Amino acid sequence: MSIISVLNPKGGSGKTTISTNLARSLHEMGYSVLIVDSDPQGSARDWHAACEDNPIELVALDRPNNVKTLTSMAANYDYVVIDGAAKLEDMIAACIKVSDFVLIPVQPSPYDIWAASDLVDFIKARQEVTDGSPRAGFVVSRVVEGTRLGSDVRTALDDYALPVCETTITQRQVYPQTASEGLTVFDADNAKARAETTALSNEILAVLATATREVA
Ligand SMILES: Nc1ncnc2c1ncn2[C@@H]1O[C@H](COP(=O)(O)OP(=O)(O)O)[C@@H](O)[C@H]1O
Ligand SMILES: [Mg+2]
């Protein structure tokens, strides 16, 4: 069992979009997956409710104390994906504590990069007391195809000294289109969107596999 949190206090960075698609891609790989909606705004809940036979299970936890009890619930799944809350420091701190991996989606904009600063400090402080857990990494999200911005952002993110995923998530209509029906890009005819989502999942799984080997 591994817990992956998708966190960034900035709204609109793509947390819910990435959480739902990431969860579904892990499900497609044959893993059992639970999505945890930790955001009182309830976007992941709304997404889940929009599709009657959603193949992914979802639970809403809107208090930090509930997140602390997540580890026992998570034991029944291969992966738990937590869709992060905006601005709620206690909630974000609780998610960091229970996570094996924190994925930080950032839009290719300087405001988004600056806004990640406190979150990175939180994660690094936690890593110091735990010998490196949770692992963490950025993913550049909502990149407009054909622009150079994605690579400029990578250079800017280097200052944080946290890994940046090779995969970027592109700005594509298929993400909101499928979300509005409670679906994911795995239900649409868009090979590029499926490929980037699967590539992102594989990158995270590879990091989690090395983390497990180090502990063993
Ligand atoms: N890769 C993408 N392509 C197109 N639209 C996106 C993409 N990622 C997110 N969006 C849209 O941007 C808005 C914010 O995304 P969301 O996932 O809700 O972010 P967050 O959960 O961080 O607030 C939503 O309307 C969503 O549909
Ligand atoms: Mg959200």
A 10 A CB-CB count for 193 gives: 21
* Predicted local distance difference test score (pLDDT) of residue 120: 96
Q: Is the per-residue pLDDT at 36 higher than 90?
A: yes
Rounded (5°) CA angle 76-79-82? 110
Q: Which of 24, 22, 71, 20 is nearest to 46 (CA)?
A: 20
47 lines ligand 1 (CB under 6 A): no
What confidence tier does 216 reach under pLDDT thresholds 50, 70, 90? low
* Predicted local distance difference test score (pLDDT) of residue 155: 87
Mean of pLDDT over the chain: 93
Residue 100 near residue 206, CB atoms below 8 Å = no
* Predicted local distance difference test score (pLDDT) of residue 29: 98
Structural domains in the chain, CATH included, are 2-215 (3.40.50.300)
* Predicted local distance difference test score (pLDDT) of residue 153: 86
Region class of 65: left (phi > 0), else alpha (psi between -120 and 50), else beta: alpha
Q: Is the per-residue pLDDT at 71 higher than 90?
A: no
41 lines ligand 1 (CB under 6 A): no
* Predicted local distance difference test score (pLDDT) of residue 72: 85
42 lines ligand 1 (CB under 6 A): no
Structure tokens given for 55: 């193949």
Nearest-atom index, ligand 1, CA of 17? 17
Using the mean position of ligand 1's atoms as its centre, give its distance from the Cα of residue 110 in Å: 18
For residue range 120-175, what is the model confidence (pLDDT) as tens digits? 999 999 999 998 999 999 999 999 988 877 678 888 899 999 999 999 999 999 99
Nearest-atom index, ligand 1, CA of 43? 18
In Å, what is the CA distance from 192 to each residue of 145, 169, 184?
A: 11, 10, 13
Residue nearest to ligand 1 atom 14, measured at CA: 12
Question: What is the DSSP-derived secondary structure letter of residue 187?
Answer: G
Using the mean position of ligand 2's atoms as its centre, give its distance from the Cα of residue 41 in Å: 7
Weakest-pLDDT range from 172-176, 194-198, 208-212: 208-212
